[in-house]
Each structure stands twice: as structure tokens, then as C-alpha cells.
Chain A
Amino acid sequence: MSAATLTHQDHEDEAAYDLVPDGLDPVPTRPRLLLVGTALAGAGIAVFFAALLGMYLAARHAVITGPQVGDVAPIWFADSSPIPLTPANLALATMLLSCVTMAWAVHAVAHNDRAGAYFALAMTLLFGGAVINATVFIYKAIELPVAGGSTAVAPLFYTLTGAHLALIACAMVFVTVMTLRTLGGEYAGRDREGIVAASLIWYLTTALLVVIWYAVYVTK
């Protein structure tokens, strides 16, 4: 029986129910596994939003270049449901600001600045919550019913912006978990892959909001 087999024996119970091998040579043969996985997931997220945005723009283009109904020129958002730009601008500015605090959190973790990391994390989460709040405010302000519309604006608008809200919420959870895991010792200042991966998703979330802000809120 080889020495390696003996080591397996020691881990037999764990192997039965956990089954993530960490007893033997756990050193990753290549670094940045989490970063690579996050980048792949990020690519999938980007494609998801690109598809939604593509369908949104295609449907809008079909409506505004379509035939006039009676004396009314074809419009996308009805006059009864104007999109307020101010809260949308505020949401974008807040999200951009949150990128600064996210970068601050990464920097703080890199320098083992625990207090700074916690503070930066709290600020990032606060800003993320503010963006969600601003979007919900827009929902209430425009009073756009999902059902009963003559165009597809409502389902497309709510699906696109709602999916982004869900992404912000997931990114907030990811950032929190990764920061706590890093500060809890799973990663260290020199090996801050977790928090960098979380920041990658956060920056992607911000980039997507920039696109949505321009395509949905500005050009209407």
C-alpha cells in the first residue's frame, strides 16, 4: 500500500460526504482559478444582457419606424409614462462612485487594512442599495402597467432593468462573501483573488448600467 493510499485512508470519511479533495497537494497548479471562472461567468452575463438589450432595441426600432396610428406618431414610451432622467442619472453616478469604493476595498485588502476594507465594503453596499432604490423610484414614477399595453415596451423595460437589479443584488452578495472570506483568512493580502474576482463582477455590473442608462433612459 503506497503512502499516498494511506493518506487517502485518512481522508476517507471526508471524501465520502464532502468530496472536494484538499488532503493531497492542494496547491493550485495554476493561479487565478477563481478569476478565470469569474471572467467566464462574466462573459455569460454580458451576453445575457446583450441579448436582452438587442431585443429591446429591435422592438423599439420596429415601433418608432412603424406606421402612424391615426394622427398619433409612433412612440415607444407613451406620454402618460415619461421616464424621469434625474433618478436615472443619480443611479448611474452612484454606481460609478461605488466603483471607487470597490477599488478602495481591493486596495485595503491588498495592504491588510482590515478597517479600511470593512468601511469600503460598507460604502459599496450602501451605494448598491441606493441604485436599487433609485430604480424602484423610477418604476413608481413612470406608472407603466405591464399588462394591457399596445406595444411591448413594458415587458421589455421591466425585464431588462429588473434583470440588472437582480444582478446588482447578486453582486452585492458576492462582494460581501468574498470580502469576509478574505478578511477571515481564506485569502490573504498577497493572495486576494476572491476580492478581485468580486470587483470584476462589480465593474461589469456598472458597465452594464452605463449601457442601459444610455439605451433606455437617455435615448428613450
Chain B
Amino acid sequence: MTATQAPAVEATDVARDESTADLAGVLGSADHKVIGRLYVGAALMFGLASAVAGVLAGIDRIDGELGNTILATDTAPQVLSFHRLSVPLLCLIPALLGLAMIVVPLQVGARAIAFPRAAAASFWGWIVGAATFAAAFALNGGPGGGRSDAVDLWLTATALITASLLLGAVCVGATVLAARTRDMTLDRVPFFSWSMLCTTAIWLLTLPVLLAITVLLYVDHRFADTLFGAGGALDSHLDWINRAPQVYALAIPLLGGALDAVATASGRRFPNRGVAFTLIGAFAALGIGAFALPTLVPAAADQPVTKGMALLVVLPVLGLVGLVGTALKDAKPQITSGLVAGVVGLLVLLLATLVGAAVPFQSLLELQGTQWISAHSHLVTGAALIGLVGGLYHWSTKIVGLAGNEALGRTAPVLIGLGVVLVAAPEAVSGLVGDAEEAVNGLEVANVVSVVGAAVLLLGSAVAVAGLARRRHDDEPSDPWAGQTLEWATASPPSFDNFDGEVPAVDSAEPLLAVQSEEGDS
């Protein structure tokens, strides 16, 4: 059996899949693919709830005032808070972590993820925390909640979520660092694995800060109320994870996933791998935002280092866009869903970094607390969402065991990209040209356009899910793209221990490309 001829799903594999599909098999599983699927599935469900909350808040704010149309005055800020905090904590970070848990061990040739039971504990801790988080909001908790016990519950849930995500990050990071197969040196790991290593490093440097603040908020809120005050003030101490520069940490996996999809679609070695690695690392380093949290540094946005980071972060994205152009030049690439998502995601991220370059100058440009800041967050999280969709389609045969509908897979990133731009552009305009009240709550016309954009974004997300939801056939391809990296040498879905027989030898960054060339020659 050659490396490119991944074994078809044999009878025994099907039998094992059936045995692991029962409830006990799923609940007790420490298989990284099962945990990853659980993570992705649950995160998408919470993402839907978060999107609905965002749309409700958007509709309510159409007239330029939050809390007087379809939501009560005290409910509207809570709905908006739920949307803002749940997008990273309940949707994007866990979904990207789940995708990494499935794909990274396959890419680096590992039989399992590092610390499989810790990975399982990470998911179960997160899902309990996420459910409690949502319940606390429903019980009038949350940052501005009127019920003190529910606020404490919300803080406990946030701490549990953060600790669980950190545990998952340790598993993924350790897999890349210490569970690679023989001869897979760090400079030979696929781009997505490299980007996840950078992402986990940034999460390990920043999420503990979120955890520390949450623990302190809990102690202060429950016992003292002297440090942070009560009510909505709590929100401002956690909201930095949604703001520049920390929000960029959500988009790092997009970079790796996009480059992997581009390399696969081009059918050639990706040029300048070292430069690409450096640019991904640079983008990650410029996304460290924990130092800028307002709890420690009230005037963080005015610090020279913050301004420098915001200006410099454009360069790595611009460089990666250039590298993608170079890779695709004269290549006659397959127009795959992964390629479309990668390119659209990179362009949206480039736009986001350009918008973000103005954020540290908010005092000078009178953008403080305006819709401009929201526009930047929406663009970055939108780019991360496009990256997630691209990853789900690119590795769909490894994730769910079936090839996604390519037409829908190519359409969804475009719709999501369009929706994000429609959401963000009116916000940016409101922030720039609106008077004091309009700059904060948005111009009425612009708010209507934003809601339309949110609807397009939701439609794109629904199209993405629809393209992946179909019945599995017996002839699902193991490698639909003639991939170059080790994950394409596995069956679809991969067997319990990932590789049937020996892991293919690794003698370059594209171990399967040489085999394909030899087969082509013969």
C-alpha cells in the first residue's frame, strides 16, 4: 500500500465506528477525533445562540437606542454582553480547538493526541461551563445581572470555561512539540499545525490572565465589592479578549489553514515556507493583548507598544497574501472550498488589520467607545469564522468521514465574508461620521444595513452547515485533493489509531508529494 492509496473503509473499521457511536463510546471516549467532533458540534450550537443574540440586539438598536424596541431596557445590555463574550468563549475558541484536536495529530503523524484523557476532560469541563454560562445569563446573571448569585455563577462558569480551554491548548501544543512522528522536524510540520502551535502559545500566555481576573472578580463580587464595583463594570474587565490586539489570537489558525489549502490546491510545494512560518509567528506575537487589559493599564490604547503592534500587524497578513499569490501564480489551482475560504478569509483579515490600525489612535480620532471598535472585532471574528468553515470543508473527510458539497462549500465563505463586511462597514461609518450618540449606537440607516449583513452572515453559516450535512456513502474519498501532508494518508474517517500500519516516512515538508510524483512518472 502506498502512502497516497489510503485504505478504503474496511468492514472492521465500520464495525468499530458503530461500536464507538453508542452513547457510552462517545461519553467515555478519549479519542481525539471524537472529542474534536464534540467540541466542534457543541461550539456551533452555542455559536448559533450567540448569533441570534447578536441579531436581536442589532434589531433592537436599529433606531439608535439600545433597549426600547424588542428587548427590555435592562435585558438588552445583557443580550449584547452574552453575544460579545460567547463568540470567543463558547464558539470560536472551542471550535478551533476541536478542529485542531482532530487534524493536528493526523498532520504530525501521531497515533493519538498528547494526554488524551486531559483532552476529554477539557471538553467536558468546557461544556459544563458553557451550559452554566448560558444558564447564568438566563437567571439574570452576567456582567450587569440583577441577581447576585447568578452573577457569581456566571463568573464561576467563565473560570471553568477558561481553565478547560487552557487544558485543551496544552494537549494540542504538546502534540505538535512532542508527539510528531519520526523525521517530522518542527520546520516540516504543516502550516495548520504550526499555526495551532503559535495559537496555543498565545492562549497560554493570555487566557491565564483572563482566568486570574475572573477569579479575582468572583472573590471581590461575592465577598467584598471593593475592587471592581458591581453591575456592568464587570464587563469591561473581560471584554479585552474581544478587542485589539487580543482578538487577533482568534484568527491565527485561519492563516495556517489557508496556506495548507492553497498548497494543496496548487499541487506544488509551497514557496518560502520559512517566510510563511515567520509571518504566522509574527502575526501571533502581535496578537498578545493581555498586557493591554484595562484592569492593569487603564490607558492601554495610548501606550506606544500598543500603537506599534496595531500598525505592524498589517504586515504579516499582507506578506501572507503575497505568498498566496506567488503560490497560485501559474499553478492552475483546483478551486476548492478550502482555497476559496482561505483567500476570502485572508482578505477579510487584511481589511480587519487596516481597520484595527486606527484603534490605538481612538483618542486622537475620537473613536473611543464608538462603533468603529465593534467593526474591527466583527471583521476579525468573521475572518476566524471563515477560516473555521474552510477548515471544516478542507478536512471534512477526516472530521465527519464524508466530502462536503463543494458548491456550497465555495459559496459559504463568500456569503459569510459579504455578511461580515455588511455588518462592519456601517459600524465603521457610524463611528467615523456619527455625532456622539450615533457614534456609539450607530446611525439608523447604518444599523439597518448591519442587521441585513448579520442575516447574510447567518445565511452563509447555514449554507456551510448544510453542505456538510448529508448521508455518507461507501465511496467517500480518503484524499479528495491529492494532499501533500500526512493526514491524507489516513482512511476517511481515520481509524482509531489514525494510521493503519506504519506512518508514512517523512523526508520533506510534503511527504506525500514525492510519492505522487513517483506514481505519476511510472
A53's closest neighbor in chain B, by CB? Answer: B212
Which residue of B170, B179, B219, B498 contacts A44 across the interface (Cβ within 8 Å)? B170
Contact with B along A119-157 (1 / 0, CB 8 A): 000000000000000000000000000111111101110
Q: In the complex, are the beta carbons of B12 and A15 less than 8 A apart?
A: no
What's the minimum C-beta distance from B238 to chain A, rounded to whole angstroms? 13
Given A8-B497, A33-B179, does the pair A149, B224 have CB atoms closer than 8 Å?
A: yes
Q: In the complex, are the beta carbons of B10 and A51 less than 8 A apart?
A: no
Which residue of B116, B200, B502 contacts A20 across the interface (Cβ within 8 Å)? B116
What CA separation (Å) do A44 and B118 show in the bound complex? 15
Instruction: Tell yes or no: A45 within 8 A of B by CB.
Output: yes
What's the minimum C-beta distance from A48 to chain B, rounded to whole angstroms? 4
Instruction: Tell yes or no: A2 within 8 A of B by CB.
Output: yes
Q: In the complex, are the beta carbons of B224 and A154 less than 8 A apart?
A: yes
Which residue of A12, A19, A48, A55 contacts B295 across the interface (Cβ within 8 Å)? A55
Contact with A along B381-402 (1 / 0, CB 8 A): 0000000000000000000000
What's the minimum C-beta distance from A115 to chain B, rounded to whole angstroms? 31
Given A4-B500, A12-B15, A33-B178, does the pair A48, B211 have CB atoms closer than 8 Å?
A: yes
Instruction: Tell yes or no: B109 within 8 A of A by CB.
Output: yes
What's the minimum C-beta distance from A20 to chain B, rounded to whole angstroms? 5
Q: In the complex, are the beta carbons of A36 and B112 less than 8 A apart?
A: no
What's the minimum C-beta distance from A2 to chain B, rounded to whole angstroms? 6
A45 surroundings in chain B (CB, below 8 A)? 208
What CA separation (Å) do A204 and B206 show in the bound complex? 19
What's the minimum C-beta distance from A156 to chain B, rounded to whole angstroms? 7
A152 surroundings in chain B (CB, below 8 A)? 220, 224, 226-227
**What class of interface size applies to chain B in its complex with A?**
35 or more
B178 surroundings in chain A (CB, below 8 A)? 28, 30-33, 35-37
Q: In the complex, are the beta carbons of B208 and A47 less than 8 A apart?
A: yes
Instruction: Tell yes or no: A219 within 8 A of B by CB.
Output: no
A158 surroundings in chain B (CB, below 8 A)? 219
Query: Which residues between 2 and 39 of chain A lie within 8 Å of chain B, taking CB atoms?
Result: 2-5, 8-9, 11-13, 15-21, 23-26, 28-33, 35-37
Q: In the complex, are the beta carbons of A159 and B20 less than 8 A apart?
A: no
Instruction: Tell yes or no: B28 within 8 A of A by CB.
Output: yes
Of the candidates A13, A33, A43, A51, the one having the most CB atoms from chain B within 10 angstroms of its own CB is A51
Contact with B along A49-71 (1 / 0, CB 8 A): 10110110011000000000000
Which residue of B25, B118, B226 contacts A16 across the interface (Cβ within 8 Å)? B25
Instruction: Tell yes or no: A163 within 8 A of B by CB.
Output: yes
B213 surroundings in chain A (CB, below 8 A)? 51, 55
A11's closest neighbor in chain B, by CB? Answer: B496
A24 surroundings in chain B (CB, below 8 A)? 111, 497
Query: Which residues between 156 and 211 of chain A lie within 8 Å of chain B, taking CB atoms?
Result: 156, 158-159, 163
A148's closest neighbor in chain B, by CB? Answer: B224
What CA separation (Å) do A35 and B207 show in the bound complex? 21
Of B29-37, B55-63, B354-362, the one with at least 4 CB within 8 A of chain A:
B29-37
Number of A interface residues at 8 Å Cβ cutoff, please give it.
Answer: 57
What CA separation (Å) do A54 and B208 show in the bound complex? 13
What's the minimum C-beta distance from A157 to chain B, rounded to whole angstroms? 10
Contact with A along B1-32 (1 / 0, CB 8 A): 10000010011110110011010110011110
B172's closest neighbor in chain A, by CB? Answer: A40
Instruction: Tell yes or no: B180 within 8 A of A by CB.
Output: yes
Q: In the complex, are the beta carbons of A54 and B497 less than 8 A apart?
A: no
Instruction: Tell yes or no: B420 within 8 A of A by CB.
Output: no
Q: In the complex, are the beta carbons of B20 and A15 less than 8 A apart?
A: yes
B179 surroundings in chain A (CB, below 8 A)? 28-30, 33
Query: Which residues between 202 and 257 of chain B lie within 8 Å of chain A, taking CB atoms?
Result: 204-209, 211-213, 215-216, 219-220, 223-227
Which residue of A2, A40, A151 contacts B226 across the interface (Cβ within 8 Å)? A151
B169 surroundings in chain A (CB, below 8 A)? 40
Instruction: Tell yes or no: A85 within 8 A of B by CB.
Output: no
Of the candidates A9, A49, A155, the one having the most CB atoms from chain B within 10 angstroms of its own CB is A155
Instruction: Tell yes or no: A215 within 8 A of B by CB.
Output: no
B208 surroundings in chain A (CB, below 8 A)? 44-45, 47-48, 51
Given A15-B20, A55-B216, does the pair A25, B111 have CB atoms closer than 8 Å?
A: yes
What CA separation (Å) do A15 and B13 show in the bound complex? 11
A78 surroundings in chain B (CB, below 8 A)? none
What CA separation (Å) do A145 and B521 show in the bound complex? 79
Q: In the complex, are the beta carbons of B34 and A12 less than 8 A apart?
A: no
Q: In the complex, are the beta carbons of A48 and B212 less than 8 A apart?
A: yes
What CA separation (Å) do A52 and B178 show in the bound complex? 30
A100 surroundings in chain B (CB, below 8 A)? none
Instruction: Tell yes or no: B442 within 8 A of A by CB.
Output: no
What CA separation (Å) do A18 and B16 show in the bound complex? 13
Instruction: Tell yes or no: A72 within 8 A of B by CB.
Output: no
Given A5-B500, A25-B111, does the pair A47, B296 have CB atoms closer than 8 Å?
A: no
What's the minimum C-beta distance from A193 to chain B, rounded to whole angstroms? 11
Which residue of B12, B170, B226 contacts A5 across the interface (Cβ within 8 Å)? B12
B481 surroundings in chain A (CB, below 8 A)? none
Given A12-B16, A12-B19, A55-B296, does the pair A33, B174 have CB atoms closer than 8 Å?
A: yes
Which residue of A4, A15, A40, A54 contacts B170 across the interface (Cβ within 8 Å)? A40
Q: In the complex, are the beta carbons of A29 and B204 less than 8 A apart?
A: no
Instruction: Tell yes or no: A41 within 8 A of B by CB.
Output: yes
What's the minimum C-beta distance from B233 to chain A, rounded to whole angstroms? 13
What's the minimum C-beta distance from A6 to chain B, rounded to whole angstroms? 8
B237's closest neighbor in chain A, by CB? Answer: A55
What's the minimum C-beta distance from A41 to chain B, rounded to whole angstroms? 5
Q: In the complex, are the beta carbons of B12 and A40 less than 8 A apart?
A: no
What CA separation (Å) do A23 and B178 show in the bound complex? 20
A16 surroundings in chain B (CB, below 8 A)? 16, 19-20, 22, 24-25
B273 surroundings in chain A (CB, below 8 A)? none
Instruction: Tell yes or no: B307 within 8 A of A by CB.
Output: no
Of the candidates B10, B177, B498, the one having the most CB atoms from chain A within 10 angstroms of its own CB is B177
What CA separation (Å) do A32 and B20 show in the bound complex? 30
Q: In the complex, are the beta carbons of A19 and B31 less than 8 A apart?
A: yes
Interface contacts beyond A17-B25, A19-B20: sample of 9 additional A-B pairs, CB < 8 Å, sorted by A:
A12-B12, A12-B15, A12-B16, A15-B31, A37-B170, A51-B296, A148-B224, A154-B223, A163-B215
Which residues from chain A sit less than 8 Å from chain B, CB to CB? Answer: 1-5, 8-9, 11-13, 15-21, 23-26, 28-33, 35-37, 40-41, 43-45, 47-49, 51-52, 54-55, 58-59, 146-152, 154-156, 158-159, 163
Q: Which 7 residue pairs across A and B have the least CB separation, nearest first?
A: A51-B212, A21-B497, A152-B227, A48-B208, A47-B208, A19-B31, A36-B178
7 contacting pairs across A/B (C-beta < 8 A) = A15-B31, A19-B496, A35-B178, A37-B115, A40-B204, A41-B170, A155-B220
